[in-house]
Amino acid sequence: MTLLRGEKVLRTYRIALGREPVGAKRQEGDGRTPEGRYRVDWRNPQSKYHLSLHISYPEAADAERAKAEGVEPGGEIMIHGWRAEAEGDWTQGCIAVRNEEMDEIWRLVPDGTAVLIEA
């Protein structure tokens, strides 16, 4: 994950993704991370995954596509810290970073920040 301010690279982070890291999220429970343009729309300081920033998925186009396919789009996609005691697919389509990195991201990224997720 690359954190930018304008064209300037501020930081680069290694990430963990869900059990199906290849391909865009299509429906709830598929273990994939959505791809596209989103924004940080709220934050959770009491997250069970250290800290978490919510990504605005599903946007209208995601919801419309899911409805047309007869599936639920899912939601609660976050950038969050590591949960050391977790096992299995604990990211469930979210983007996870180390806790100390999440502390830094939490300070540097205000609500409303644009997020581009791409393969």
Question: 94, 6, 7, 100: which is closest to 53 by C-alpha?
Answer: 94
**Which one is catalytic: 57, 79, 80, 115?**
80
109 carries an active-site annotation: no
CA distance 39 to 116: 8
**Which one is catalytic: 51, 53, 55, 94?**
94
CA 113 → CA 14, 53, 61, 92, 98, distances in Å?
20, 10, 19, 22, 20
50 carries an active-site annotation: no
Cβ neighbours of residue 18 closer than 8 Å, sequence gap 6 or more: 31, 32, 33, 89, 91, 92, 93, 94
Catalytic residues: 80, 94
